Amino acid sequence: MIGILVYNELLGTEVTDLGLECLTLGRELADKGDMKLGCIALGSNIGHVADKLACYGPDTISLADDSRLSDYHATPYKKIMRDLISQLSPKIVLFPASTQGNDIASTLAAELKTACVLDCKHLNFDGGLLVMKRLEFDNKVLTNFRAAGGLPIMATLRDGITDVRENKRNATINKIQVVLDENDLVSRIISRQIAKKTVDLKAAKIIVTAGAGIGSAENFKIINEFAAALNAEIGATRPVVDAGWASADRQIGQTGTTVKPDIYIACGVSGAVQHRVGMMDSKIIIAINVDQSAPIFKIAHYNIVGDVNDVLPKLIKLLKK
């Protein structure tokens, strides 16, 4: 019997970093609770992902490989998950806290009348009970949740919840027979575009992030020059990406990447909560902003009050001495 089941979201036909974080944490919890760990992946032509998933601790791997699952559809995906949960009877089901993961977890939990906590920052056992923790009230409060009622308990896990660690096992691979009818496929994907990643922000030791305070695409040149002087990677807030000043793969925050660099330099970043959740665990945070009451200053270790377009040239001059 499987104690913990992990839903591994795929990007196309590849495993995501957050999916591996979910597996890593699932393995840790399974060991603490003396339980078996299972995982599932859904998609088309995904047989090769089993070898990748097996490196991160599952005892069983279930694959739903069908051409009708090439794109995410809530109804068939939820049906397959519901059938597998009924078959395996897990106590806990973990999902990535992505658009897809939050969608399936919440609707599935409602249908099964069981507990579900979204966007968990931490999970652990306390006295044999699963404690799910999430940040609330503008990240000022870490709230503990314990499930009351039926099983399985469901939770979605935020990016950055743990470091990915390999733990290879001789996992049993089960191929799911996909049974769908026309009512399960009433919607279809007309087009789908996936932005290709050109940068690995998670691996960066130093990140220089541009916020709307830089003012314009033209002023982004100074960000590039400053980052080059530090041998740093460049990040961006959502307004900067939406304005077209930086590519989507550089976005940091709730709808972007979660990072934990040694040094994080926020340039013209106001510090909205949606951005802070993606970088607040950085070891050293340096903030540069003309507004001395900017929220970013509340979590920064070093504050520089000033216009980023005036401050950065001076810092670059010092770095080049």
- pLDDT tens-digit series, residues 268-285: 999 988 899 889 889 999
Position 43 in a domain:
yes
One domain for residues 222 and 267: yes
**Are 9 and 138 within one domain?**
yes
In this structure, is residue 78 part of a structural domain? yes
Q: Does 138 score more than 80 pLDDT?
A: no
In whole angstroms, what is the distance from residue 209 CA to residue 275 CA? 11
Could you tell me if 155 and 212 lie in one domain?
Answer: no
Going by pLDDT thresholds of 50, 70 and 90, the confidence category of residue 198 is confident
Report whether pLDDT(321) > 80: no
| Residue 207 and residue 177 share a domain | no
Determine the pLDDT at residue 141.
78
The last residue of one of the domains, among 156, 185, 214, is 185
User: What is the number of domains present in the chain?
Assistant: 2
Q: Are 113 and 33 in contact (CB under 8 A)?
A: no
Least confident among 60-64, 89-93, 138-142, 173-177: 138-142
Q: Is the pLDDT of residue 212 over 90?
A: yes
Write out the residue range of the structural domain in which residue 170 sits.
4-185
- What element of type H or E holds 238? helix 238-242
Average pLDDT score, the chain: 91
C-alpha of 208 from chain center = 21
pLDDT digits (tens, 9 = 90+) for 280-304: 889 999 999 999 999 999 999 999 9
Measuring CA to CA, how many Å separate 202 from each of 17, 38, 160? 10, 27, 9
Under the banding of pLDDT at 50, 70 and 90, the label for residue 145 is: very high
Average pLDDT over residues 234-243: 94
pTM of the model: 0.78
Residue 156, strand partner residues = 95
Residue 139 clears pLDDT 70, i.e. is over it: no
* Per-residue pLDDT, 65: 94
Selection from 90-104, 144-158, 194-208, 244-258 with the highest mean pLDDT: 90-104
| Within-domain flag for 195 | no
pLDDT of residue 308 exceeding 90, the answer is: yes
Question: 196 lies in a domain?
Answer: no
Do the Cβ atoms of 44 and 70 come closer than 8 Å?
Answer: yes
Cα 84 to Cα 119: distance, rounded to the nearest angstrom:
23
Q: Say which residue the tokens 């993961």 belong to.
A: 101
Which strand ranges, in their side-by-side order, compose the sheet holding 122-126?
122-126, 129-136, 141-146
d(CA 41, CA 235): 31
Specify whether 169 is located in the same domain as 250.
no
218 domain residue, yes or no:
yes
Which CATH number characterizes residue 298's domain? 3.40.50.1220
Backbone angles phi, psi at 220, to 5 degrees: -65, -20
